[in-house]
Structure 1
Amino acid sequence: MRRTNRRSHQYGGFLPAALVTPAVVLLVLFTVAPAIYAIFLSFRRLKVGRGLLGGGKPTEVWTGLANYTAALSDHEFWASLGRMLLIAAFGVPATVVLATVFALCLDAKRARLTGFARLAIFLPYAVPGVVASLLWGFMYLPATSPIGGGAIDYFGTKGIFFSVANVAVWGVVGFNMVILYTTVRSLPRELFEAAELDGATEFQIATRIKLPLMAPAVAMVALFSVIGALQLFNEPTTLKPLANAISSTWVPLMRAYTDAFVDNSIYEGAATSFLLILMTVAATVVVSAIGRRVGRSR
């Protein structure tokens, strides 16, 4: 028996590492290594050789911060960043609020058909982003739109921001709702029963008991939403052939893609991508700090 316990203890320490190793290897190969290589490329550029020795053949040389300076001094980069932040200003609060409201409504005592409602709200998340963007694109087109009757210009210079944000919110609300619904279902039911015995209404229980206890999960959902907003790419890229208001550099990720794979300037594209990584890390730190402060105040 003692030998068996010793063997199980040895295998117990080996088995978790063996199960995690393939995921770690794939993460390093397809995420960490490309990111490091992209950072390396962001400090390089091609230089065309001159004279008899150079032969006009381009060579890769070290350029320091020149690619970053070019990206930060480009007006279009800041314009694309502003468009992304404008969409985030609408999309992030809408995502968090809708996911929270749906989770609280599904957990209400008088809620009916909760299984069907959970599936209906979560189903858009299961639809690939490109497919969802195409579906909404045809709904936005005046000739095929069943909403607005052609009176609303969804692809105008102003309406396009709502159109893109709507597609993004529609696709991720279900996933965030599941996170918040799982959180609220894990809360002790005794608190709600005691509040109900004290005469609290369903609305008061949701806003004064459930919502404060859900604050850490809401902060996590907000963090996911902010990161998703900084990675906005699929929706505007898919809608671009349908909307003249969307250019090839409409948001920062589209600009990085255009630099690297359309204009064949992979070094500037790498610099733009690394700037976005820094912005994502900074946003993560800020949102996490706000979430911790809100959690402590509760």
Structure 2
Amino acid sequence: MTAMTAASTEDFRRARPKRRRLGGLRHGAAGPLFIAPFMVLFLLLFLTPLGYAAYLSLFQNRLVGGNTFVGLDNYLTALKDPLLREGVLRVAAFFAIQVPVMMLLALLFALALDSGLLRLARVIRLGIFVPYAVPSVVATLMWGYLYGPDFGPFAQLGRKIGLSAPDFLSDGWMLGSLANVVTWEFVGYNMIILYAALRTIPQELYEAAAMDGAGAWRIAWSVKLPALRPALLLTLLFSVIGSFQLFNEPKLLQTIAPDVIDSSYTANLYAFSLAFTGQQVNYAAAVSFLLGLVIVIFSYAVLLTANRRRAS
């Protein structure tokens, strides 16, 4: 009886590591199962359309011969296209005007909220963030009404006081009007990112700076801004991508000011017009890929500049 018990105990001890190993294998296999739904959706909704667009960009639908393989001819044509070049340069000018203003406002709001000197800080924070919750279509239609030269409140107020209000939908004002709409939409989004980064700064740094005699402005300049560099870089990269993909705002304002915003006003709008108005799907795919390349180049330039400044 004792011998049987000892044998059973020895067998149990030998079996325990095996079960642990099996359990470890099952635990290791659980990770891929959790990410499998994301990978499937990523493949179906991103990589597959991207690959199909790359395939389309290598062909051209001709009257004689039908859908013909042309290699990189669409890309070479797009590189020489003056309409695409003008659209990219216009978006670059938009980026140079809008992004610094938006980033400065977001930074100021984040610093003000983090200072603890504002009353009703939660209400103010929510009020700044609310425009981001408004869909871009609704925001553009709202601002289009405000910009209106006939029934817009700015124009009506100008006529009442005997002054001519600026034509915000004219060629000279349109880029600034678009920048104002996008800034109104995304200041709160960038402010939340910067504010969240500020809340992660250890309190000990503020106490050490105060013990050294630093005031509020000195702490903001020497402690908070250096700690915000990763968050500022992140918001700047988001702004690069969003600026060069500008579409909703000019597309909706095009119905109000068709003489100012044409089908090639931005590069993204130009690709859309080529595909769905001009039925040039293959050429539009090549234009879209070149636009993506421009975004990658600008994003890399931003990262390279930031890394060089950090190293110096």
Whether these two folds match at TM > 0.5 is yes
Aligned mates of 2:26, 2:125 — CA distance in 1: 40
Matching residue of 1:193: 207
Task: Map 1:1-298; keep pairs closer than 5 Å.
Answer: 9-49=24-64, 59-147=66-154, 149-150=157-158, 151-243=165-257, 244-297=259-312
Distance 2:282 2:147 in 1: 36
The answer for unaligned runs of 5 or more in structure 2 is 1-15, 159-164
Residues 125 and 171 in structure 1, CA contact (< 8 A), matched pair in contact too:
yes
Distance, in Å, in 1 between the alignment partners of 2:115 and 2:204 is 15
The residue type paired with residue 52 of structure 2 is: Y
Taking the aligned partners of 1:210 and 1:268, their CA distance within structure 2 comes to 48
C-alpha separation between the residues in 1 aligned to 2:17 and 2:248? 57
Letter in 2 for 1:285: Y
1:47 CA displacement: 2.6
Distance of 1:3 and 1:134 partners within structure 2: 66
Distance, in Å, in 2 between the alignment partners of 1:250 and 1:240 is 9
Structure 1 residue runs of 4+, over 6 Å off?
A: 1-5
Q: Distance in 2 between matches of 1:108 and 1:5?
A: 53
The aligned length equals: 289
Query: What TM-score do you get using the length of structure 1 for normalisation?
Result: 0.91
1:174-210 CA deviation, whole Å, 9 max, x = no partner? 1111111111100011111222233322111111110
Q: 1:5 to 1:179 in 2, by over 3 A?
A: farther
What is the SS of the residue equivalent to 1:147? helix
2 CA distance for matches of 1:12 and 1:128?
A: 42
User: When the two structures are superposed, what TM-score results if normalisation uses the length of structure 2?
Assistant: 0.87
Unaligned runs of 5+ in 1: 50-57
Greater alpha carbon shift after TM alignment, 80-89 vs 197-206: 197-206
Identity %: 38
Distance 2:262 2:197 in 1: 40
Aligned-residue offset at 1:213: 1.3
How far apart, CA to CA, are the structure 2 residues paired with 1:219 and 1:279? 18
1:145–1:63 CA distance, 2 compared to 1 (3 A): same
Q: Cα RMSD over matched residues?
A: 1.9
The answer as to whether partners of 1:215 and 1:295 remain within 8 angstroms in 2 is no
